[in-house]
Structure 1
Amino acid sequence: MNGKILIVDDEKDIVAFMKDALEDEGYTVIYAYNSNDALQRLKEEPDLIILDVMMPGMDGFALCGEIRESVSCPIIFVSAKSAEQDRIKGLMVGGDDYIEKPFSLKELKTRIYAHLRREQRIHHKTYHRLHIKNLVIDTAAYEVFCNSKKIMFTQREFEILQYLASRPNQVLSKEQIYDHVWGLEAMGDTSTVTEHIKKIRAKLGKHDPDTTYISTVWGVGYKWES
């Protein structure tokens, strides 16, 4: 089973040890030695994260909370902290598993495999996330994240954004957008689409001012820039 694994640990020898062992199993391995680098590497969309607890600066528990603002992949804590309260805290802040150091490499590989197999079964049934430029659009939860920060959209705004984003580079008229979002039987007019697009652009621009997501095709409609 292939997958991309992010290792976050400030002990370089341990990172190298795990990296070599997991690459031998066919995994793609990326790594970070601190929380800031780890948050940047989330853009590479790991399938599973191995996370140390005791690191300088932001510890693993706090980092896990940050990660869970935008990422739902399995997180396995690997830590020398063995108290029951630490294991419970790791699970409560969003971790999926907790392994104590020193650990069995065979056990780590088995748990990684089990978590990835579970994720594969879930995603085989339905896949809910769109990753576009700096955005993550969760179509099931009606949530949008930009650079790991959540953007609040109304239901109508989200449905317009999702409709456009799922059809990149396709020009959609205001009539098409209105009919799709409000329904053919809705009592209103397409001017409301224009107002909603303005609000969507303003919210996207506030979080990502240097990226154009929605373009106006004058006299025709709107287009999502891929």
Structure 2
Amino acid sequence: MSNRILIVDDDPDILSMLTRFFTNYTPRYLVDTAIDAQNALSQLTKSPDLILLDVNLPDIDGFTLINQIRQLSTVPIIFLTARVSDQDKIHGLSSGGDDYVVKPFSLGELSARVSAHLRRETTPKHQDQIAVFGCTIINYTSKTVCVDSHLLNLAQKQYQLIEILSQNPNQVFSREQLYERVWGYDALGNSHVIAEHVRRIRGQFEQYHVTPPIETVWGVGYRWTS
């Protein structure tokens, strides 16, 4: 099976060049590209085996992006950038990067580094199941939710509510349906507890100035707005 590489760079010429090179290289790679951090995060759902990451991106810099990626994945990341100072290299490697290649670079050297990092990743491992909704990233494997790189401090029931709603975006669930799914059919209690948990979930999104994705459908219940 071919390895998958994600290339993140806002320069279309570099994206085009590297895509042609790696898709025609022996062995050939599957290549995905992203021109900004938001698009890069959404591409994580494809489970890349390695990421080539530029530091200078139009929305956030690569150092900030790698912090977000590292909360979700241990995929090897090679910085590919024109920043040449020792401080930049130290910053890149200490923030979670595995290697640092300075532009302009030799395609031969780059391919050798890519191959070397992929060889170190030959141990089979389970790929995390990840979903991205704007700046909200849910890792269903580790049962975590990140908003703008912040890990939410969710109670177990709150995470379960997010999981059910987010895996069925735009589907409306009544409070009774959510209560039965999370607490079980035989649980003792009142479905009105759902409203309190939803209120607390929304509060965690709002503390980071993000509109909560759980919408109230008045008289019916709740839905996840993707």
Shorter-chain TM-score range: 0.5 to 0.7
Q: What SS does the aligned partner of 1:168 have? A: coil
Give, in angstroms, the shift of residue 61 of structure 1: 6.2
Asked if 1:3 is matched to 2:7, the reply is no
Q: Give a deviation string over 1:83-112, Cα, whole Å, max 9, x none.
A: 9xx79x866642345679766344234246
- Matched residue, 1:122: 126
Q: What SS does the aligned partner of 2:154 have? A: coil
Give, in angstroms, the shift of residue 137 of structure 1: 0.9
Given the alignment, which residue of 45, 51, 66 partners 2:43?
Answer: 45
Q: What SS does the aligned partner of 2:178 have? A: helix
- Partners of 1:208 and 1:139 lie apart in 2 by 21
Give, in angstroms, the shift of residue 148 of structure 1: 3.3
- Matched residue, 2:113: 108
- Matched residue, 1:153: 154
- Provide the aligned C-alpha RMSD in A: 4.2
Q: Give a deviation string over 1:1-35, Cα, whole Å, max 9, x none.
A: 2635124599x997775444224335335366xxx
- Matched residue, 1:22: 22
Higher alpha-carbon deviation: 58-67 or 200-209: 58-67
Higher alpha-carbon deviation: 189-198 or 135-144: 135-144
Give, in angstroms, the shift of residue 50 of structure 1: 2.0
- Partners of 1:52 and 1:133 lie apart in 2 by 21
> When the two structures are aligned, how many residues end up with a matched partner?
211
**Aligned pairs (5 A) from 1:74-223:** 74-77=76-79, 93-96=95-98, 104-111=109-116, 113-114=118-119, 121-123=125-127, 127-206=128-207, 207-209=209-211, 212-218=213-219, 220-223=220-223
Instruction: Verify the 8 A CA contact 1:23 1:29 in the aligned structure 2.
Output: no
Specify whether residues 117 and 172 from structure 1 end up closer, same or farther in structure 2 by C-alpha distance, changes over 3 A only.
Answer: farther
Uncovered stretches (5+) of structure 2, i.e. residues with no partner: none
Specify whether residues 216 and 72 from structure 1 end up closer, same or farther in structure 2 by C-alpha distance, changes over 3 A only.
Answer: farther
Specify whether residues 92 and 122 from structure 1 end up closer, same or farther in structure 2 by C-alpha distance, changes over 3 A only.
Answer: farther
Specify whether residues 217 and 71 from structure 1 end up closer, same or farther in structure 2 by C-alpha distance, changes over 3 A only.
Answer: farther
Overall identity of the aligned pairs, in %: 28
Give, in angstroms, the shift of residue 208 of structure 1: 2.3
Specify whether residues 225 and 107 from structure 1 end up closer, same or farther in structure 2 by C-alpha distance, changes over 3 A only.
Answer: same
Instruction: Verify the 8 A CA contact 1:50 1:77 in the aligned structure 2.
Output: yes
- Matched residue, 1:35: none
- Partners of 2:15 and 2:217 lie apart in 1 by 48
Give the TM-score, by structure 1 length.
0.65
Give, in angstroms, the shift of residue 195 of structure 1: 1.0
Uncovered stretches (5+) of structure 1, i.e. residues with no partner: 33-37
Give, in angstroms, the shift of residue 177 of structure 1: 1.5
Q: What SS does the aligned partner of 1:45 have? A: helix
